[in-house]
Amino acid sequence: GLLEKNGRQSFSEIPPELLNRLDKNLCNNEIPLIDLTNNKVMYGTDALLEIVGGRFPLLKKIFLLKLFKKAIKFFYKLISLNRRTITAPTFSSKGFDCTPALNVKYRILWILIGLGIHTIILIPLQKNVLSNSFLSHASLIQVQLGHAFLILSNISAALFLNKKKAIEFLGQMNMLCVIASLLYVPLIFLNKAFLIPTFINNGYLFLIIFVVLKEYIRRMSFANMLPLNNNIVAANLLSLIAIIISLLK
């Protein structure tokens, strides 16, 4: 990383004397940097620019330009406010809770970006991979319709939840689709470059299904959907199975 390993500490490991120097409210939304040499604390993009500037002084000068600084602030906020959804972390009982506040605007924007990613990835996936797999009969229109059905079923399920939990559920489902999309990318490139046997594509696709299913259970537990909303989770899985069956025909 940009910081030496001995210069980084998680919130659960930070000593009380340093913890007391932090603004607890700012820490939730902006990652802090404590400069022990100059006895100051920086947050968010200021901390990021300080770290980058220490390694790449020229980049810091560029990033301080008004246009770049605004862009960095926007992307930093987008990632920082959605890091709970991106990583679905395991919380420690030590230290303090640094979970970012829910910002509906940035959460919806993140979901829309993710939606765009997995919608676009489906195009080369169907052309290069699915056409040479156990889903070879599925056309691009069928794949996109199945994708649309899954999105609508997720939105329908979210209607039975309170606002905060619904947004968390949709965020986690979106991240699962993004993860699956990124896992497809190596297989797409391999199929574009080489003539890959069908059984290899099938094996890779089943492996992705296994990985995503395992991650699905973890993220649904994180979002408090399991065991409190087993009926919604079951309906969600049945929708996915129905889509796969429809693509087999």
Of the listed ranges 6-15, 41-50, 186-195, 228-237, the least confidently predicted one is 6-15
99 in a structural domain: no
Is pLDDT of 176 > 60? yes
Residues 149 and 63 in one domain: no
165 in a structural domain: yes
Please give the pLDDT value at position 6. Answer: 56
Distance from chain centroid for Cα 64: 28
Residues 157 and 190 in one domain: yes
Listed residues 87, 122, 140: the one ending a domain = 87
8 A C-beta contact, residue 74 and residue 49: no
Instruction: Report the sign of the C-alpha dihedral through residues 48, 54, 59, 64, in that order.
Output: positive
Structure tokens at 202: 């099938």
Residues 80 and 111 in one domain: no
Across the range 47-54, mean pLDDT stands at 82
Listed residues 29, 57, 87: the one ending a domain = 87
Please give the pLDDT value at position 233. Answer: 92
What letter would DSSP give residue 8?
-
Residues 228 and 114 in one domain: yes
185 in a structural domain: yes
Element spanning 182, H or E: helix 163-193
**CA-to-CA distance for 109 and 167, rounded, in angstroms?**
12
Residues 33 and 113 in one domain: no
Residues 13 and 82 in one domain: yes
69 in a structural domain: yes
Element spanning 35, H or E: strand 32-35
Across the range 135-145, mean pLDDT stands at 96
Instruction: Domain count for the chain, please give it.
Output: 2
Residues 154 and 236 in one domain: yes
Choose between 28 and 243: higher pLDDT.
243
Choose between 186 and 64: higher pLDDT.
186
Residues 177 and 202 in one domain: yes
Is pLDDT of 14 > 90? no
Listed residues 57, 87, 117: the one ending a domain = 87
8 A C-beta contact, residue 101 and residue 80: no
| 87-123 residue pLDDT tens | 988 765 555 567 788 899 999 999 999 999 999 999 9
Q: Quick count: other Cβ atoms within 10 Å of Cβ 223? A: 23
227 in a structural domain: yes
Element spanning 34, H or E: strand 32-35
Residues 34 and 130 in one domain: no
92 in a structural domain: no
Residues 41 and 117 in one domain: no
**CA-to-CA distance for 33 and 15, rounded, in angstroms?**
14
| 58-92 residue pLDDT tens | 888 888 888 888 899 999 999 999 998 999 887 65
**Identity (one letter) of the amino acid at 177?**
C
98 in a structural domain: no
Q: Which domain holds residue 35?
A: 5-87
97 in a structural domain: no
**Identity (one letter) of the amino acid at 191?**
N
Is pLDDT of 216 > 90? yes
Residues 11 and 122 in one domain: no
Residues 185 and 131 in one domain: yes
C-alpha distances (whole Å) from 161 to each of 107, 115, 157, 165, 170 are 17, 21, 7, 6, 11
**CA-to-CA distance for 171 and 103, rounded, in angstroms?**
12
